[in-house]
């Protein structure tokens, strides 16, 4: 099959490019991940449950999953707003706003972390306003969520944007001509079309937020049982030479990342199933 194909497309370098590409993937990514996977399997179910059952680990996992979920939800909402405005409206500074969306991709996480902390700390420009009302943002859960929204926002915007751009006006026109109000059109026509992209953006933001380290550890405060995220606890276990403890948490995060990747790949198929017959 592949040989026949190559005869029809006489392009050079299939063997060498596939070989080098796969070898590079194997050495740089798969070999390290295999080391973790084997070590995790070596723990056995009992060892894994014992390590995960630790109350400090439980608290860190709850915080990490909870904050990442909330942040992904906020990022999806704000991202939808920004994507909508950038695609649908024309206003001065629109292209600049669009360019700004990529900043969290490009800004190193440690830089974002100290900047967000300086802003939201009790003596910071924004944190001060909240400190007057005894609300803590930095060194508390809200700060963690803000850092994760910052990290996740571009994923939401950049998955929604192409879908919004190709979303035909015809369906909206049809809905309007049938007497639907703008709100009904939004609810019945636009939102269902955007749903797969919204869910993909949400999953990407969640996956990234769950493992995020650099931007969070500065703003989190890192108090065990309170503001200690799971990735930080991995590094702490490592420093204590508790490799099994570190591996147990890491394995759980890795499985969660795999689940997210699977979900992202399955979302379009699941949602479009039976909806479109004409493809």
Partner 1 sequence: MAEAHDVLHEPAWLRRTLIALAVLAMLALVAMPLGMVLAAAFAKGPGVWLAALREPDALSALRLTLFTAAIVIPVNAIFGLFAAWALARFEFRGKQLLLALIDLPFAVSPVVAGLCLVLLFGAQGWFAELLQRHEVKILFARPGIVLATLFVTFPFVVRELLPLMQQQGADEELAARSLGAGAWTMFRRVTLPNIKWGLLYGVLLCSARAMGEFGAVSVVSGHIRGLTNTLPLHIEILYNEFDGTAAFAAASLLAGLALVTLVLKFWLEARHGDAIAQSHRRH
By the rule CB under 8 A, 169 interacts with partner 1 = yes
Cα-Cα-Cα-Cα dihedral sign, residues 73, 78, 81, 87:
negative
Residue selected from 52, 130, 221, 257 as contacting partner 1 according to rule CB under 8 A: 257
Report how many residues bind partner 1 under the rule CB under 8 A. Answer: 102
Q: Supply the minimum distance, in Å, between the C-beta of residue 64 and partner 1.
A: 10
Contact set for partner 1, span 47-76 (CB under 8 A): none
234 binds partner 1 (CB under 8 A): yes
Among 69, 73, 109, 226, binds partner 1 (CB under 8 A): 109
User: Which residue reads 């420009």 in tokens?
Assistant: 125
Instruction: Assess 18 for contact with partner 1 (CB under 8 A).
Output: yes
How far from the centroid of its chain's Cα atoms is residue 115's Cα? 21
Distance CA 70, CA 142 (A): 10
Burial (CB count within 10 angstroms: exposed 0-12, middle 13-18, buried 19+), residue 141 = middle
Query: Does the protein bind partner 1 through residue 41 (CB under 8 A)?
Result: no
Query: Is residue 181 at the binding interface for partner 1, with CB under 8 A as the rule?
Result: yes
Q: Does 13 bind partner 1 (CB under 8 A)?
A: yes
Instruction: Report the C-alpha gap between 151 and 205 in whole angstroms.
Output: 7
Which residues touch 207 (CB under 8 Å, ≥6 apart)?
Answer: 256, 257, 260, 261, 264
Instruction: Verify binding: residue 182, partner 1, rule CB under 8 A.
Output: yes
105 binds partner 1 (CB under 8 A): yes
Near partner 1 in 198-217, by CB under 8 A: 200, 204, 207-208, 210-214
Residue 193 as a binder of partner 1 (CB under 8 A): the answer is no
Options 48, 139, 202, 218; binder of partner 1; rule CB under 8 A: 218
Asked if 157 and 98 count as a contact pair (C-beta separation under 8 A), the reply is: no
């Amino acid at each position: 099959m592949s040989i026949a194909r190559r005869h029809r497309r006489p392009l050079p370098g299939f063997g060498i490019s596939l070989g080098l590409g796969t070898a590079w993937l194997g050495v740089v990514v798969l070999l390290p991940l295999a080391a973790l996977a084997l070590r995790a399997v070596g723990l056995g179910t009992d060892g894994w449950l014992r390590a995960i059952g630790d109350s400090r680990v439980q608290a860190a996992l709850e915080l990490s999953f909870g904050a990442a979920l909330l942040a992904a939800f906020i990022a999806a909402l704000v991202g939808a707003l920004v994507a909508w405005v950038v695609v649908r409206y024309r206003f001065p500074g629109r292209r600049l706003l669009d360019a700004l969306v990529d900043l969290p991709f490009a800004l190193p996480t440690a830089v974002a972390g100290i900047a967000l902390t300086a802003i939201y700390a009790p003596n910071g420009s924004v944190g001060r306003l909240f400190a007057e009302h005894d609300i803590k943002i930095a060194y508390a859960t809200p700060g963690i969520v803000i850092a994760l929204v910052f990290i996740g926002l571009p994923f939401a915007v950049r998955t929604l944007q192409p879908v919004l751009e190709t979303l035909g006006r015809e369906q909206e026109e049809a809905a309007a001509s049938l007497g639907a109000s703008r709100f009904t059109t939004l609810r019945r026509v636009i939102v269902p079309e955007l749903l797969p992209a919204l869910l993909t953006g949400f999953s990407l933001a969640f996956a990234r937020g769950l493992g995020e380290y650099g931007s969070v550890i500065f703003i989190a405060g890192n108090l065990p049982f309170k503001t200690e995220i799971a990735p930080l606890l991995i590094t702490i276990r490592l420093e204590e030479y508790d490799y099994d403890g570190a591996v147990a948490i890491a394995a759980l995060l890795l499985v969660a990342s795999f689940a997210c990747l699977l979900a992202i790949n399955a979302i379009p198929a699941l949602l479009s199933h039976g909806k479109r017959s004409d493809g």
